[in-house]
Structure 1
Amino acid sequence: MDTVLGFDFGIKRIGVAIGNTMIRQAQPLSVIAAIANEARFAAIGALISEWGPARIVVGLPSHPDGVEHEMSARCRRFANQMHGRFNLPVVLVDERYSSAVIAAKRGEVIDDRAAAIILQQYFDDYAQSN
């Protein structure tokens, strides 16, 4: 049984979810609200130390037709930084509709729930072959 952390990367916040390969059920864990890279990675490092994941999943946004945009490049860079800093395998998962399926009230922080949707998609679609 391996622990997996999922991330919904954003410029203002990063949503984090957790799950494991035995139960294959993602759940929201936390929201990192730091904007500075060092503070973000310090918070992520603390989560990695606490939970000891075997791999990391990062949502990769794109337009509805699958074409990548500016945030796609930022998410790829974030995923590369995660791999480089923490030496863990990183899997990119299509996140086109992760935030859209959450009914949120105005101003509500949903990033951790979006991360859970991304991680659940990994368990449902990608983990079969890994």
Structure 2
Amino acid sequence: MLLAFDYGTKKIGVASGNALLGSASPLPALPCKNVQPDWDKVTALIEEWQPEVLVVGLPLNMDGSESELCQRARKFARRLQGRFGKPVWMVDERLSTREARERTGIHHADPKVDSMAAVVIAEGYLGGSEPLAP
């Protein structure tokens, strides 16, 4: 069991993943306040799902370089690791939002797209994408 996160400054998409089945399902997105995650909601989610591993998408630019959002996502990943003591990995999430929009048919800002992007991130991890340290 894993939880995957599509980190954003306004909301964080979330998905649960099952390594045995190699699949993932979207969960409700988590709100952010002043670009900060609602840690009480993150804690409740982790207590409810009891994941063995946490996966955070790394929003690299198309040329592979890192943006400011990458640094924020890395900070979020390190905080997850520090707060919950679980293994945390990052995976390249380039084009995950595009794929999430195709899967959902939603082409505007919507929390369902963020959580579907987390599904794409989880599936990438489960499918053998190179995991990166936070």
- Number of the residue aligned with 1:115: 118
Given the two structures, how large is their TM-score scaled by the length of structure 2?
A: 0.87
- Number of the residue aligned with 1:66: 64
Q: How many residues align?
A: 124
Show the 5 A alignment for 1:23-42. 23-35=21-33, 37=36, 40-42=38-40
Aligned-pair RMSD on alpha carbons?
1.5
Q: Which structure: greater strand fraction?
A: 2
The one-character-per-residue Cα deviations of 1:41-73 (angstroms, maximum 9, x if unpaired) are 111110110010001000001111101110011
Match of 1:52 among 36, 50, 53: 50
Match of 1:124 among 117, 123, 127: 127
For the residue of structure 1 that corresponds to 2:27, the secondary structure is strand
- Number of the residue aligned with 1:22: 20
Distance, in Å, in 2 between the alignment partners of 1:34 and 1:70 is 17
Distance, in Å, in 2 between the alignment partners of 1:107 and 1:57 is 22
**Which residue identity is paired with 1:111?**
D
Unaligned runs of 5+ in 1: none
Deviation at 1:85, TM superposition (A): 0.5
For the residue of structure 2 that corresponds to 1:59, the secondary structure is strand
Unaligned runs of 5+ in 2: none
Given the two structures, how large is their TM-score scaled by the length of structure 1?
A: 0.89
